[in-house]
Structure 1
């Protein structure tokens, strides 16, 4: 296999058949040793986080597959902490799309003049550029179109898919009496130009709470997948 990319939480390899292999690592994003799904730096290493993230990702991607929601997922090998996916081209140098149900994290830091901590939000969709140097700045639909990153039509599709996927995850968590506060996704274009959900869906890219208490990524996987 050909090594393509070394990321914060996973490495990417190209397979001989043209598909890609994602190798999950035990690193999670955050700052000063505190986990934060919206951070653009590796904040800490949690033993077992890679496999835990992959188990949960596999669970959610297979739920989405049943609902015929387009993703890049093909299959996963939990023991090896790898996931096989179809190729997809990112938008520009990469976008992150956040769906927010509660005012926490960077939303609260930016809009704290008007928002109260934990205030309910109506599946608010926010797009940011993957740009570490500029602290992943938020970007509007018009700017995305003007900069030729995403057309208005693609933005509407992206926003609709984000809410559909986030609501699916929210419903799955609710089965275990867990509340989803926010979740971060990445998307790309498949070979036929179709917009696909890519990357992962794990505790490392969401904030989830149970009875008002934050659930760490490893604990979330245990609660969700316990028999």
Structure 2
């Protein structure tokens, strides 16, 4: 299985490299960055030891499509995608919070609720909710952004402002952009017979001081989708929802006794299981975008990326 899990490029006018959980960001002298989506898989803020074929391409292409479909609402960092795994755009100073927005009681929120918590990131949750119930209106539950290997942590609006992580003026913009993007994402999903359950957005300031959307958007790594058909019926019967996200990986890890906690051992992922994850990601791509996934050549991904990026930079 040919995957790309790490890179070591020396691009013209390169000044630094930042390696996140699944992306590697090369900074250039002209206030641009080259972001490479690797095939690394992260769950519970832990990077899995093996790459997933085509995962980076899938995330990059979904994010590119969604940025184009929301740029009339919110400015973003993206300039070009010279390779299936690569995005090039403006250098931005990221805000140190992730703007998580939830339309339904699912995933992390459901786990916290089951544990007895009735407040999430300063937002009060009503009694009597079932897992996957729709909230009366979407709630914003921010998280502090973790470095590689560390856990993101829930944080309230009040604490963000009190600790001066973001100014009140900027935070109002982040909230406004988050709600607008989620509303558009919900509309896009509905056209595909999907429900956008929850997602996260990341923002930064560009060289002009403008707040822009950065990183990925509406991908299966940053979002959770349900199939709309049969949603109500499954809720009435208290059956699990049919969903599109990487939650299936989290549930597999939980079933093997792993949730990223200290002392827990990562279960082995066989080649067969790795291939099944790849197939699931392709299914996610096709259902989210409504387009057939076209596999890029992976016989030598490193060279392909380098050649495509250099051709773009030399234009």
Q: 1:83 aligns with which of 58, 80, 87?
A: 87
Which residue pairs with 1:61 in the alignment? Answer: 67
RMSD value, Cα: 1.9
**In the alignment, what sits opposite 1:127?**
142
Kept in 1, the 8 Å contact 2:73–2:180? The answer is: no
**Preserved CA contact (<8 Å) 1:55 1:78:** no
Q: Distance in 2 between matches of 1:78 and 1:101?
A: 33
Which residue of the partner structure matches residue 260 of structure 2? none
Match of 2:111 in 1: 109
- 1:134, CA displacement in angstroms? 6.6
Whichever of the two has the greater Rg, that structure is: 2
How far the C-alpha of 1:186 sits from its partner, in A, is 1.0
Superposed, 1:43-192 pairs within 5 Å as 43=48, 45-65=51-71, 67-79=72-84, 81-91=85-95, 94-112=96-114, 113=116, 114=127, 115-121=129-135, 122-131=137-146, 135-192=151-208
**Superposed displacement of residue 185, structure 1:** 1.3
| 1:25-73 CA-partner distances (Å, limit 9, x unpaired) | 112321xxxxxxxx322246321011011111111111112x1411111
Query: Which of the two has greater strand per residue?
Result: 1
3-state SS of paired residue (1:64): coil
How far did 1:87 drift?
1.0
Change over 3 Å in CA distance of 1:16–1:151 after alignment to 2: closer
Tell me how far apart the structure 1 counterparts of residues 179 and 47 of structure 2 sit (CA, whole Å): 27
Superposition deviation, residue 77 in structure 1: 2.5
Residues 203 and 218 of structure 1 are in contact (CA less than 8 Å); yes or no, is this contact kept in structure 2? no
The size of the alignment, in residue pairs, is 215
Counterpart Cα distance in 1 of 2:181 and 2:83: 23
Q: Could you list the per-position Cα deviations for residues 136-192 of structure 1 after superposition, in whole angstroms to 9, with x for gaps in the alignment?
A: 221122211221211122211111101111111111111110111111111111222
- Post-superposition offset of 1:14: 1.4
Aligned to 2:221, the other structure's residue is in SS state helix
Q: Secondary structure at the match of 1:200?
A: coil
1:199 maps to 2:215: yes
* Structure 2 unpaired stretches of 5+: 1-10, 117-126, 230-240, 245-279, 293-315
Q: Contact 2:192/2:290 (CA < 8 Å) preserved in 1?
A: no
Asked if the contact 2:226/2:242 (under 8 Å) is kept, the reply is yes
